[in-house]
């Protein structure tokens, strides 16, 4: 009798709380953005809250990417998780493996009866966050891809035509020779070396970075980054480093300061570097597609993304999930996406947003901003270029950084360093496999 | 006759020490016990499942060449930080102690770096030694030396040692100066009258009488180098290049919070606990014997 009463009461309570007329449902959203990006996110949320009266999204900044993920994990363990958590792309495998902690986006959309068509999204953007059978697990939020930034004045100063063809690494090598010969102290720098020169290099040349379709096929994946294409590229970069043609400045985007100050001629960096470079550079610059090796069959394929996506956490009420679905749909609507893409330099996540941006004449006014979009969308992604899904990936990147530094310092040749990176990274992958069995 | 206050019952004294006992139990024994417990499992980050692996985490760690190398790195780093910060502090304290005028100004100025948080200190030093735009790097370049701590492990180690020791010099300086001022002038003056020069006086009188302070600072500084230098390493090198500056504590962080490998992280905490316990026992057993109170 007691039990039945409780059920009746809780049933009533559920009905009361489900009635929208009484109160707005609150949707909690934890993100990792500060500064200009933080303001833009706040603006999106504000626009959403004003656009309807059923739901209120509360956005909270929880620190950088790693800190936000850790906050989300700690909150889940305490039963206090937010509805939406922003997770950077290398945390994807961690989130995916936590089956009881998340609610896949396709499920959220289906349960809420929301109008949601995964085909609207750009394949190479959503691919990173979908299962092998095309189910979207998290909603891509901010995505960028590496491109080549060129200081045209530095090329002119070295008597090189600033419109010189830089589409292949062979051509880049020739230009670096000339820059060096003319006394340029910083011909080439890079940001995010593992992301650009191994992860994207592999995808762009359609060779695997890891077995089992880059980890999409199962937790028993192993690194495959010591193949001939990768070794050739890293060895070439190592030789350039030895000759002073490639200057190494750090693991993250420390080198951006050198490029923006005009010191360096060529710079491989995320397309999202646009805002900073446009702001600070006092020289003539342009954006080129990431170079490729012309002797590799199938190159250029497409590059992969970096950035973050939005994960929906498990254990919330149906009403909140409806709010989540509405908010995610709002974020992916063409107008909001196009504005986000133009304000930040991040890629649009839907084809409609890209088309709208083109119609608005943004690419004509800001030449080069479409290079990244073209580079991502020209070819349909393959198994090797869909993305990466590796556990402990943040730390594996640390290992790769160490091994690459050994090559730049001349302590190891590329083959030895990449073999060692594979061996050390595989140990972490086995730990991850064991933890998530 | 020694005067002693004794309690009649057991309850009052127990009540008086209870707060201390509770604090120790809640903030020290409980977390330490949790670390030992967790080190026997491989959990998933979200706490959805745990797998019993016994001593598997320890086996995995000790079988890893980079983890073993991290012991040596930690030893080099801790000794270097302790020697540099205590040596410089003692030198400055001896000089300040001999000052007659203006010693207050010196003292105040020398204490300032202690107020700078380790992470901020790390960033300050990083700016000066930035491989492309750092001021000191530039001057070194003028002198013909190519400074590049992002690729050169020894330079990286030197930089984190200096940055870690820098803020610590103030703290040590204060204690050394107080210790020096507590030495009775009459003893030193007597020695001077007997014809002992500064260096002889320092070696035979000052150094032995300063030993309690030195011992205290030794223990405190080693603990500091082990546990509190995390911020400096995180901001300057992130443990690189090639793990040249990955000390044990930094690895606990990167395994636990970067990789979410809580089992390995817990096992490392347990190993650290054992090492620091053993070190402290060693220090009290062997070095304290030579301390004159």
Question: How far is B159 from A428, CA to CA, in rounded Å?
Answer: 29
Query: Is A249 an interface residue toward B (CB < 8 Å)?
Result: yes
Q: How many CB atoms lie within 10 A of CB A204?
A: 28
At residue A16, the pLDDT reads 43
* CATH number reported for the structural domain that contains residue B91 in this entry: 1.10.3720.10
CB A118 within 8 A of CB A282: no
Which residues in B lie closer than 8 A to residue A434 (C-beta atoms)? 42, 51, 53
Q: Would the CA dihedral through A295, A296, A300, A303 be positive or negative?
A: negative
CB A314 within 8 A of CB A396: no
Largest CA distance in chain A: 91
Helix and strand numbers (H, E) in chain A are 21, 9
Strand-strand pairing, A25-31 and A84-88: parallel
**Cis status of the peptide bond prior to A300, with omega within 30 of 0:** yes
Query: Is A408 an interface residue toward B (CB < 8 Å)?
Result: yes
Task: Please name the residue of chain B whose CA is at the shortest distance from the CA of residue A91.
Answer: B259
At residue B8, the pLDDT reads 81
Q: Alpha carbon of A83 to those of A16, A340, B140: distances in Å?
A: 21, 22, 53
3-state secondary structure of A225: coil
Task: Give domain status of residue B81, yes or no.
Answer: yes
Both tokens assigned to A259: 């490029």
Question: How many domains does one find in chain B?
Answer: 1
Q: Which helix (H) or strand (E) holds A267?
A: strand A266-270
Task: Give domain status of residue B8, yes or no.
Answer: no
Residue among B40, B42, B43, B45 with most chain A CBs within 10 A, to mutate:
B45
At residue A15, the pLDDT reads 44
pLDDT single digits (tens) B38-67: 999 998 888 888 889 999 999 999 998 889
At residue A407, the pLDDT reads 96
Question: How far is B5 from B10, CA to CA, in rounded Å?
Answer: 14
CB B211 within 8 A of CB B290: yes
pLDDT beyond 90 at A404:
yes
pLDDT beyond 80 at A102:
yes
3-state secondary structure of A268: strand
pLDDT beyond 90 at A18:
no
pLDDT beyond 90 at A10:
no
Which one of A66, A98, A398 has the shortest CB-CB distance to B48?
A: A98
At residue B2, the pLDDT reads 58
Q: Alpha carbon of A215 to those of A224, A382, A396: distances in Å?
A: 11, 13, 14
Which residue has tokens 């999409």?
A: A216
At residue A309, the pLDDT reads 95
Task: Give domain status of residue B42, yes or no.
Answer: no
Residue B258 pLDDT level (bands cut at 50, 70, 90): confident
Chain A, residues 78-107, CB within 8 A of chain B, namely 94, 97-101
Least confident range of A12-26, B244-258, B269-283: A12-26
Both tokens assigned to B138: 């530039």
Which one of B43, B130, B242 has the shortest CB-CB distance to A402?
A: B242
Task: Give domain status of residue B168, yes or no.
Answer: yes
Instruction: Say whether A431 and B258 touch across the interface (CB within 8 A).
Output: no
The residue among A83 and B108 whose pLDDT is bigger is: A83
With an 8 Å Cβ cutoff, the interface of chain B facing chain A consists of 42-48, 51, 53, 60, 64, 66, 130-133, 150-152, 238-243, 254-255, 257-261, 263-264
At residue A244, the pLDDT reads 94
At residue A145, the pLDDT reads 94
Q: Which domain holds residue B91?
A: 63-288
Which candidate, A430, A104, A167, places its Cα nearest to that of A294? A167
Residue A1 pLDDT level (bands cut at 50, 70, 90): very low
pLDDT beyond 50 at B169:
yes
Both tokens assigned to A164: 């010189």
Task: Give domain status of residue B212, yes or no.
Answer: yes
At residue B3, the pLDDT reads 64
Check residue B228 and give left, alpha or beta (phi > 0: left; psi -120 to 50: alpha): alpha
pLDDT beyond 50 at A390:
yes
Question: How far is A363 from A348, CA to CA, in rounded Å?
Answer: 13
Question: How far is A60 from A332, CA to CA, in rounded Å?
Answer: 20
Chain A, residues 256-295, CB within 8 A of chain B, namely 257-258, 261, 263
Closest Cα of chain A to B63: distance in Å? 11
State the Cα angle at A322 between A316 and A325, rounded to 5°: 105
pLDDT single digits (tens) A280-306: 899 999 999 999 999 999 889 999 999
**What's the first-to-final CA gap in chain A, in angstroms?**
42
Task: Give domain status of residue B19, yes or no.
Answer: no
Which candidate, B57, B152, B254, B70, places its Cα nearest to that of A396? B254
**DSSP per residue, A140-190:** EEEEE-EEEEEEHHHHHHTT--TT---SBHHHHHHHHHHHHHTT-S-SEEE
Q: Say how far residue B68 (Cα) sits from the centre of its chain.
A: 20
Residue A241: CB partners within 8 Å, gap ≥ 6?
A: A247, A248, A407, A408, A410
> Mean pLDDT across the stretch A86-114?
92
Which spans in A31-168 are helix H?
35-51, 65-77, 92-97, 105-112, 123-126, 152-157
| Rg from Cα positions in chain B | 24
pLDDT single digits (tens) B123-160: 999 999 988 778 999 999 999 898 888 888 999 999 99
| Rg from Cα positions in chain A | 23
Both tokens assigned to A249: 């400045």
Check residue B144 and give left, alpha or beta (phi > 0: left; psi -120 to 50: alpha): left
pLDDT single digits (tens) A329-358: 999 999 999 999 988 889 999 999 999 999
Which one of A101, A392, A408 has the shortest CB-CB distance to B151?
A: A408
Q: Alpha carbon of B47 to those of A82, A314, B43, B84: distances in Å?
A: 17, 14, 6, 43
Long-range CB pairs of A332-339, under 8 A, 24+ apart, other chains included: A332/A120, A332/A121, A332/A139, A336/A44, A336/A47, A338/A362
pLDDT beyond 70 at A6:
no
Q: What is the mean pLDDT of chain B?
A: 89
Q: Which helix (H) or strand (E) holds A421?
A: helix A414-435
> Mean pLDDT across the stretch A134-157?
94
Task: Please name the residue of chain B whose CA is at the shortest distance from the CA of residue A94.
Answer: B45
3-state secondary structure of A121: strand
Which residues in A lie closer than 8 A to residue B241 (C-beta atoms)? 402, 405-406, 409
Determine whether A433 is exposed, middle or buried from the number of CB atoms within 10 Å of its CB (0-12, 13-18, 19+).
Answer: middle
Strand-strand pairing, B50-52 and B41-43: antiparallel
What ipTM was reported for this prediction? 0.75
Instruction: Say whether A431 and B264 touch across the interface (CB within 8 A).
Output: yes
Instruction: Say whether A406 and B242 touch across the interface (CB within 8 A).
Output: yes
**DSSP per residue, chain B:** -------SSSHHHHHHHHHHHHHHIIIIIHHHHHHHHHTTEEE-TTSS-EEE-TTHHHHHHHT-HHHHHHHHHHHHHHHHHHHHHHHHHHHHHHHHHH--SSHHHHHHHHHGGGGS-HHHHHHHHHHHH-TTT-HHHHHHHHTT----TTT-HHHHHHHHHHHHHHHHHHHHHHHHHHHHHTS-HHHHHHHHHTT--HHHHIIIIIHHHHHHHHHHHHHHHHHHHHHT-HHHHHHHTTT-STTTT--HHHHHHIIIIIS--HHHHHHHHHHHHHHHHHHHHHIIIIIGGG---
Question: How far is A175 from A240, CA to CA, in rounded Å?
Answer: 12
Question: How many CB pairs lie under 8 A apart between chains A and B?
Answer: 97
At residue A154, the pLDDT reads 96
What proportion of chain B, given as a percentage, has pLDDT over 70?
98
For residue B53, report the phi and psi dihedrals to the nearest 5 degrees: -125, 5
Q: How many CB atoms lie within 10 A of CB A328?
A: 22
Both tokens assigned to A273: 């570097």
> Mean pLDDT across the stretch B81-91?
96
The residue among A12 and A226 whose pLDDT is bigger is: A226
Task: Give domain status of residue B163, yes or no.
Answer: yes
Both tokens assigned to A428: 């972490």
Q: Which residues, listed in sequence order, are joined to residue A308 by a DSSP beta bridge?
A: A88, A142
**DSSP per residue, A311-340:** EEBSS--HHHHHHHHHHHHHHTSHHHHHHH
What proportion of chain A, given as a percentage, has pLDDT over 70?
95
For residue A62, report the phi and psi dihedrals to the nearest 5 degrees: -120, 25
Which candidate, A258, A151, A145, A243, places its Cα nearest to that of A201? A145
Task: Give domain status of residue B114, yes or no.
Answer: yes
Query: Is A411 an interface residue toward B (CB < 8 Å)?
Result: yes
pLDDT beyond 70 at A202:
yes
CB A179 within 8 A of CB A154: yes
CB A289 within 8 A of CB A165: no
Residue among A402, A420, A427 with most chain B CBs within 10 A, to mutate:
A402
- DSSP for residue A380: -
Which residue has tokens 């959309």?
A: A109
Question: How far is A404 from B155, CA to CA, in rounded Å?
Answer: 18
3-state secondary structure of A65: helix
Which residues in B lie closer than 8 A to residue A249 (C-beta atoms)? 131-132, 150
Q: Which residues, listed in sequence order, are joined to residue A86 by a DSSP beta bridge?
A: A310
Q: Which residues, listed in sequence order, are joined to residue A267 by a DSSP beta bridge?
A: A149, A189
pLDDT beyond 80 at A17:
no
pLDDT single digits (tens) A33-50: 988 889 999 999 999 999
Instruction: Say whether A258 and B132 touch across the interface (CB within 8 A).
Output: yes
Which residues in A lie closer than 8 A to residue B48 (C-beta atoms)? 98-101
Instruction: Say whether A402 and B240 touch across the interface (CB within 8 A).
Output: yes
Model confidence pTM above 0.90: no
Question: How far is A140 from B186, CA to CA, in rounded Å?
Answer: 77
Which residues in B lie closer than 8 A to residue A397 (C-beta atoms)? none
Which residues in A lie closer than 8 A to residue B60 (C-beta atoms)? 431
């Amino acid at each position: 009798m007691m039990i039945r009463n409780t059920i009746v009461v809780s049933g009533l309570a559920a009905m009361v709380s489900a009635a929208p007329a009484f109160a707005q449902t609150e949707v909690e959203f934890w993100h990792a953005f500060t500064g200009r990006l933080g303001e833009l996110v706040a603006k999106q949320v504000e626009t959403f809250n004003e656009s309807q009266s059923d739901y209120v999204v509360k956005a909270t900044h929880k620190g950088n990417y790693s800190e936000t993920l850790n906050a989300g994990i700690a909150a889940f363990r305490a039963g206090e998780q937010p509805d939406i958590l922003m997770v950077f792309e290398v945390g994807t495998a961690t989130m995916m493996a936590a089956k009881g902690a998340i609610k896949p986006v396709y499920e959220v959309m289906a349960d809420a009866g929301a109008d949601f068509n995964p085909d609207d999204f750009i394949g190479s953007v959503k691919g990173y966050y979908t299962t092998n059978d095309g189910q979207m697990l998290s909603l891509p939020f901010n995505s960028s891809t590496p491109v080549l930034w060129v200081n045209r004045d530095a090329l002119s100063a070295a008597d090189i035509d600033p419109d010189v063809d830089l589409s292949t690494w062979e051509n880049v090598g020739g230009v670096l020779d000339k820059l060096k010969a003319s006394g340029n102290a910083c011909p080439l720098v890079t940001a995010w070396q593992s992301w650009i020169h191994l992860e994207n290099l592999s995808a762009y040349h359609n060779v695997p970075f890891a077995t089992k379709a880059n980890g999409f096929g199962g937790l028993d994946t192993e690194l495959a980054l010591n193949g001939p294409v990768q070794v050739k590229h890293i060895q070439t970069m190592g030789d350039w480093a030895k000759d002073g043609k490639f200057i190494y400045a750090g693991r993250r985007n420390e080198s951006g300061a050198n490029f923006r100050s005009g010191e360096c001629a060529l710079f491989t960096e995320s397309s999202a570097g646009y805002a900073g470079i446009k702001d600070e550079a006092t020289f003539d610059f342009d954006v080129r597609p990431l170079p490729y090796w012309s002797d590799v069959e199938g190159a250029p394929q497409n590059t992969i993304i970096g950035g973050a996506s939005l994960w929906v956490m498990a254990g919330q009420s149906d009403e909140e999930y409806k709010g989540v679905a509405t908010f995610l749909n709002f974020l992916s609507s063409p107008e909001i996406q196009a504005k986000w893409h133009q304000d930040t330099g991040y890629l649009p996540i839907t084809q409609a947003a890209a088309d709208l941006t083109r119609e608005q004449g943004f690419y004509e006014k800001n030449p080069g901003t479409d290079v990244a979009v073209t580079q991502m969308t020209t070819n349909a992604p393959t198994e090797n270029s869909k993305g990466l899904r590796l556990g402990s990936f943040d730390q594996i990147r640390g290992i790769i950084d160490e091994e690459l530094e050994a090559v730049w310092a001349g302590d190891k040749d590329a083959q030895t360093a990449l073999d060692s990176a594979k061996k050390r990274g595989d140990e972490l992958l086995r730990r991850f496999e064991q933890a998530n069995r | 006759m020694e005067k002693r206050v004794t309690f009649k019952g057991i309850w009052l004294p127990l009540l008086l020490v209870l707060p201390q006992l509770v604090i120790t139990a809640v903030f020290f024994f409980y977390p330490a016990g949790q670390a030992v417990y967790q080190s026997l499992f491989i959990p998933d980050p979200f706490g959805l499942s745990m797998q019993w692996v016994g001593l598997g985490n320890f086996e995995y760690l000790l079988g890893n060449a980079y983890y073993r190398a991290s012991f040596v790195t930690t030893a080099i780093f801790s000794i270097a930080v302790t020697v540099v910060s205590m040596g410089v502090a003692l030198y400055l304290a001896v000089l300040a102690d001999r000052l007659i005028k203006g010693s207050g100004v010196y003292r105040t100025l020398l204490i300032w770096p202690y107020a700078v948080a380790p992470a901020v200190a790390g960033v300050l030093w990083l700016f000066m030694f930035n491989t492309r735009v750092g001021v000191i790097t530039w001057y070194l370049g003028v002198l013909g030396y190519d400074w590049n701590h992002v690729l050169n492990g020894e330079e990286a180690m030197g930089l984190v040692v200096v940055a870690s020791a820098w803020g610590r010099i103030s703290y040590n300086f204060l204690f050394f100066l107080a210790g020096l001022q507590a030495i009775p002038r009459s003893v030193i003056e007597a020695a001077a009258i007997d014809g002992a020069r500064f260096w002889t006086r320092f070696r035979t009188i000052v150094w032995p009488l300063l030993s309690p302070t030195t011992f205290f600072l030794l223990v405190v500084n080693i603990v500091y180098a082990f546990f509190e230098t995390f911020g400096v390493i995180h901001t300057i090198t992130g443990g690189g290049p090639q793990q040249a500056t990955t000390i044990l504590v930094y690895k606990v962080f990167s395994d636990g919070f970067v990789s979410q490998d809580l089992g390995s992280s817990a096992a490392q905490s347990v190993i650290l606990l054992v090492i620091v316990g053993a070190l402290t026992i060693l220090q009290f057993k062997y070095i304290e014997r030579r301390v004159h109170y």
